[in-house]
A and B are shown apart, each in its own frame.
Chain A
Amino acid sequence: MPDFVWSSQSPLKKALVPGRHGAGKGAPGVALSHVSDIALVQVMARRGRNADVAKAAKKLFGAEPPAALKISSGKVVTLVWSGPDQFLAFSELPQTAPSIEQQEQAFSGSASLSNQSDGRCLIRISGPNARDALAKMTSLDLHDSVFPVGSAATTSIDHTAVNFWREADDASGNPAYVALVFTSFSDTLWHLFVESSLEYGVEVAASGTGH
Chain B
Amino acid sequence: MRIACPFCGARDSGEFTYLGDASPKRPDAPIDGGVAVEDQFYDYVYLRDNVAGLTREYWYHGGGCRSWLIAERSTTTHEFKSVTAAPGAGAAKAKQAGER
Q: What is A's interface to B at a CB cutoff of 8 Å?
A: 44-50, 68-69, 82-86, 139, 153-156, 159, 161
Q: What is B's interface to A at a CB cutoff of 8 Å?
A: 7-9, 11-12, 14-15, 62-67, 85, 89-96
Q: Pick from A49, A68, A155, A159 the residue with the most CB of B within 10 Å.
A: A155
Given contacts A48-B94, A86-B91, A153-B64, 17 further A-B contacts (CB under 8 A): A44-B91, A48-B92, A48-B93, A68-B7, A82-B65, A84-B65, A84-B90, A84-B92, A85-B91, A154-B64, A154-B65, A155-B8, A155-B15, A155-B63, A156-B14, A156-B64, A159-B14
A/B interface sample: 17 pairs, CB < 8 A: A46-B91, A47-B93, A47-B94, A47-B96, A48-B91, A48-B92, A50-B92, A69-B8, A83-B64, A84-B65, A84-B90, A86-B91, A139-B11, A139-B15, A154-B66, A156-B12, A161-B62
> Shortest Cβ distance from A116 into chain B, in angstroms?
15
A82–B94 alpha-carbon span in the complex (Å): 20
Q: Pick from A82, A83, A161 the residue with the most CB of B within 10 Å.
A: A83
| CB neighbours of A86 from chain B (8 A) | 91
A84–B8 alpha-carbon span in the complex (Å): 9
- CB of B89 within 8 A of CB of A84, answer yes
A86–B67 alpha-carbon span in the complex (Å): 11
- CB of A153 within 8 A of CB of B8, answer yes
- CB of A161 within 8 A of CB of B63, answer yes
- CB of B96 within 8 A of CB of A84, answer no
| CB neighbours of B93 from chain A (8 A) | 47-48
A47–B66 alpha-carbon span in the complex (Å): 16
